Amino acid sequence: MEELTLEKFEEASEIVSRVTLETKLKYSEYFSNQTGNKVYFKPENMQYTGAYKVRGAYYKISTLSEEDRAKGIITASAGNHAQGVAYAAKLYNAKAVIVMPTNTPLIKINRTKSYGAEVVLYGDVYDDACEHALKLAEEHGYTFIHAFNDLDVACGQGSIAMEIIKELPTVDYILCPIGGGGLCTGVSTLAKMLNPKIKVIGVEPEDANCMQESLKADHVVSLPSVNTIADGTAVRTPGDKLFPYIKANVDEIITVPDDELIGAFLDMIENHKMVVENSGLLTVAALKHLDVKNKKIVSILSGGNMDVITMSSVVQHGLIQRGRIFSVSCLLPDKPGELAKVASLIAQVKGNIIKLDHNQFITINRSAAVELKITMESFGESHKKEIIAALAEGGFRPKEIRANL
């Protein structure tokens, strides 16, 4: 196994500091109270490019010869590494070509272009884009930089661990997202070098857990497919150069279902006023899966590049998931005043009507019943149940249905 040394990490941290913003740890009173630990966030979503990836990209390009930089640089990325490479290449006056999956959020595509890079959209997932980037590199003679399966890139990402430990020397746990494994390799390897007692926990999406499956098999395996809203970690095959480091330095891998990322997004918006993309939320959602108390835990928020359409969808689903938006179907006689009765009853229990759908043709006998679909806002599950109970007591036979905003 090619060696990552403390000297190399120290060099990378010094070089990376030239282009990174200071992302000091943020203590979370909310999550500390929720978990019984002292929880801190490493907010890499606040980096200039919106993610930690600029660290590995800039350090890697700094190690290239002038000749290799002059050939032009190409990479494949779901978005954040793309921006990191584009920005770093711009600083070195090098041409950058970025191959991105076709479903990459628009904000990541536009920002990558804003740094002067040429963007090529190809494939459904990162692995498809990477294969195409390698083909273009061979055709045009570009210098290829892998998004994660590169020890120089991983070394640059490890500068995060250096900063965490300098600021919080007594940290007990570091939670780190895993896609291909570059960030977790750098963070876990350096953390163990500086303090072997620190526990490093990798976090993957439940349906994109390529590293977890590789560790079970004791060798790198490829998933047949991945399916997750955490696009930055939608990787089928982890890095083979990184696998030995993950195996040696990561204490545990936790997987998180997409539904929990939706709740974590709401929590971050409401309690910390921070936009964190779904991959960055893995370490937030994982907090409740840790069976520890009274520990100092740092969750790395790897990025914040989320487009507004995705953001809107996640917020809506989160509110529905927590019972703060819900819909019911009621049956009521088709006569004047019945709609007012329903509205008055809901108002009495402090429900807030968002949308009404009044269907007079649910039955042939309109005087017997018409259907009223009501979408409402509540304070949460208990309040939702209170509203539904009030409608039932009023004789409106409410039946909860899937909210459709």
Q: Which residue is catalytic, options 77, 299, 302, 327? A: 302
What pLDDT was estimated at residue 405?
Answer: 65
How far is C-alpha 180 from the geometric centre of its chain's CA atoms? 14
Which residue has tokens 């590995």? 56
Least Cα distance to 198 among 186, 189, 206 occurs for: 189
Give residue 99's identity as a one-letter amino acid code: V
Q: Which amino acid does the sequence have at 282?
A: L
Q: Are the CB atoms for 4 and 159 separated by under 8 Å?
A: no
Lookup result for tokens 């098999």: 217
Question: Residue 51's closest CA among 380, 321, 355, 277?
Answer: 277
**Distance, CA of 177 to CA of 383 (rounded, Å):** 35
In degrees and rounded to multiples of 5, residue 372 shows phi and psi of -125, 115
Q: Which domains does the chain have, with CATH numbers?
A: 6-52+152-318 (3.40.50.1100), 54-149 (3.40.50.1100), 323-401 (3.30.70.260)
pLDDT, averaged per 10 consecutive residues of the chain (405 residues), comes to 86 96 97 98 94 96 95 90 93 95 83 94 87 96 94 97 98 97 97 97 97 97 93 90 97 96 95 95 97 97 89 91 93 85 93 87 65 92 95 91 77
Is 62 annotated as catalytic? no
Contacts of 41 (CB under 8 A, 6+ apart): 25, 26, 28, 272, 274, 284, 298, 299, 300, 301
Q: Which pair of structure tokens corresponds to residue 332? A: 């009521």
State phi, psi for 305 to the nearest 5 degrees: -90, 85
What separation in angstroms does the CA of 335 have from each of 33, 181, 260, 353? 52, 64, 44, 21
CA distance 61 to 94: 10
Contact 376, 352 (CB under 8 A): yes
- Within 8 A by CB and 6+ apart from 399, the residues are 328, 329, 330
Task: Give me the helix-helix angle, 159-167 and 6-16, nearest 10°.
Answer: 90
User: What is the CA angle 10-115-47, rounded to 5?
Assistant: 45
Per-residue b or e along 141-153, where b marks 16 or more CB atoms closer than 10 Å to that residue's CB: ebbbbbbbbbbbb
Tell me the backbone φ, ψ of residue 14, rounded to 5 degrees. Answer: -65, -45
| Token reading at 168 | 């919080």
State the virtual CA torsion across 359, 361, 362, 366 in degrees, nearest 10: 100
Q: How far apart are alpha carbons 142 and 73 in whole angstroms? A: 5
> Active-site residue among 13, 28, 38, 53?
53
Please tell me the total number of residues recorded for the chain in this structure.
405
Calpha distance 216→246 (Å, rounded)? 12
Q: Tell me the CA distances in angstroms from 161 to 133, 224, 242, one per residue in order.
A: 30, 32, 17
Whether 302 sits among the annotated catalytic residues: the reply is: yes
Nearest of 281, 236, 242, 275 to residue 76 by alpha carbon: 236
